[in-house]
């Protein structure tokens, strides 16, 4: 069996016939039945660039939460939010958060930064040569930028950060990428920029690698939390005291006490952020809208801040410093993913920041709802009623 390989059609590998051939192969060699995997409604011809060895689909339930009211600079109004998940209570919990924030007047959202990175590393004979190279990079930024931007219409090189260690210099190229997520775009642009550097730098480079891992692609890092990767979005709301008493069956003081003590618990546990469960909302929306699901590793790292106001109301904010989203390209054009984006009017060009604001607002709703459920001791009972713990 070690010599076997999944069959491919050299003339047309993205067809229903090629997919059926692979299903038969898998069934013959594993004994499994792919009765449901074979059922899909779109043309496989649209999949080049999205997957190899296309064989079928995995069906995941989609529910709509909302409406959520967003008072953003790019997203304004009421939206129904698609969430793909198999976790009972998730859609209900987010809908509850959307209900309470809507009653409070809606969630204000702000995109405060936007950058995607590729981070090459250069090695030299000693630290002084590395320092001198960094000075040359600063002096020749215009040439590096021009070379990088020959590869893309929408990508723009914004700046290059420098981080020195030993005789190495790490360069963090920061790009704006329009409505694409932009990882591959930035990789290609930086590769061409590095070729330009190789041709024009008068000194001697021992070696370089296109990525020195300081872009921290698809993994959490403190650097991304501080300097952003993708969209940096803030969502905030002030919930009137009476709403919390009446609808969440707790108080601003109790919610703030839970927030304060949970932050200490997270510190003791070595948590990388102080959110409650941002990955739930982000992952379910990423899958529903055709985002790169691995980017949840970066995007989930949230910064939560809360206050009881002098009037006794509850101010709550969530900052997502590394929210990587696209409304064009990648998986966004696939059939069901495009439909889910269109529900929010977030498909196509000019919509990426709008989608980022809706996702950030959704995360806030989930944080409020789960936090209140824990404080009011309704967390377990809700899972018993709607989730996996039901009898």
- Catalytic positions are 87, 292, 383
CA distances from 354 to 83, 114, 325, 349 (A): 17, 13, 10, 11
d(CA 152, CA 329): 14
**Residues 286, 336: Cα–Cα separation, whole Å:** 12
107-118 and 62-71 strand pairing? parallel
The residues facing 19 across adjacent strands are none
Distance CA 101, CA 103 (A): 5
The number of helices, as runs of H, and strands, as runs of E, in the chain is: 13, 10
Q: Mark 340-362 as b/e (b = at least 16 C-beta within 10 Å).
A: bbebbebbeeebbbbbbbbbbbb
Rounded to whole angstroms, the Cα distance separating 391 from 381 reads 12
Between the alpha carbon of residue 338 and those of residues 328, 335, 381, the distances in Å are: 9, 5, 36
- Give the max Cα distance, the chain: 72
- Beta-carbon contacts of 23 under 8 Å, excluding residues fewer than 6 positions away, are 34, 37, 38, 55, 56
In the beta sheet, which residues pair with residue 62? 84
| Helical ranges in the chain per DSSP H | 16-30, 90-103, 127-139, 141-148, 183-200, 222-227, 241-247, 252-269, 278-289, 296-299, 335-343, 352-375, 379-386
Say whether 307 sits in a helix, a strand or coil: strand
- The span from the CA of 321 to the CA of 250, in Å, is 30
| Residue 106, token pair as written in the block | 């809606």
């Amino acid at each position: 069996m070690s010599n076997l390989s999944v069959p491919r059609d050299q003339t047309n590998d993205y067809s229903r016939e090629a997919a059926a051939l692979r299903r038969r192969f898998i069934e013959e060699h594993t004994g499994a039945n792919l009765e449901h995997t074979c059922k899909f409604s779109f043309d496989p011809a649209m999949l080049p660039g999205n997957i190899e060895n296309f064989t079928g689909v995995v069906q995941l339930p989609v529910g709509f939460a909302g409406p959520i009211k967003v008072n953003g600079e790019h997203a304004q109004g009421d939206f129904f939010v698609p969430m793909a998940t198999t976790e009972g209570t998730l859609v209900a919990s987010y809908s509850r958060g959307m209900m309470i924030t809507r009653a409070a007047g809606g969630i204000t959202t702000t995109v405060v930064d936007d950058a995607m990175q590729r981070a090459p590393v250069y090695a030299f004979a000693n630290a002084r040569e590395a320092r001198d190279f960094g000075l040359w990079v600063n002096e020749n930024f215009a040439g590096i930028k021009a070379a990088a931007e020959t590869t893309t219409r929408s990508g723009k090189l914004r700046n290059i950060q420098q981080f020195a260690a030993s005789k190495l210099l790490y360069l963090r190229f920061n790009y704006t990428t329009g409505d694409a997520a932009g990882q591959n775009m930035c990789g290609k642009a930086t590769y061409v920029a590095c070729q330009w550097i190789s041709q024009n730098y008068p000194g001697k480079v021992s070696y370089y690698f296109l990525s020195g891992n300081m872009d921290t692609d698809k993994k959490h890092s403190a650097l991304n939390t501080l300097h952003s990767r993708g969209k940096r979005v803030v969502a905030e709301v002030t919930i009137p005291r009476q709403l919390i008493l009446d609808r969440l069956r707790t108080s601003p003081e109790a919610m703030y006490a839970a927030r304060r003590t949970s932050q200490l618990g997270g510190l003791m546990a070595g948590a990388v952020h102080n959110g409650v469960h941002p990955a739930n909302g982000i992952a379910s929306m990423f899958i529903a809208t055709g985002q790169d699901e691995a980017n949840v590793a970066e995007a989930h790292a949230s910064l939560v801040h809360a206050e009881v106001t002098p009037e006794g109301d509850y101010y709550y904010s969530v900052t997502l410093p590394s929210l990587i989203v696209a409304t064009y390209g990648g998986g966004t054009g696939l059939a069901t993913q495009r439909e889910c984006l269109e529900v929010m009017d977030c498909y196509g060009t000019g919509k990426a920041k709008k989608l980022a604001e809706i996702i950030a607002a959704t995360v806030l709703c989930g944080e409020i709802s789960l936090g209140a459920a824990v404080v009011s001791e309704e967390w377990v009972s809700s899972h018993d009623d709607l989730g996996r713990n039901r009898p």
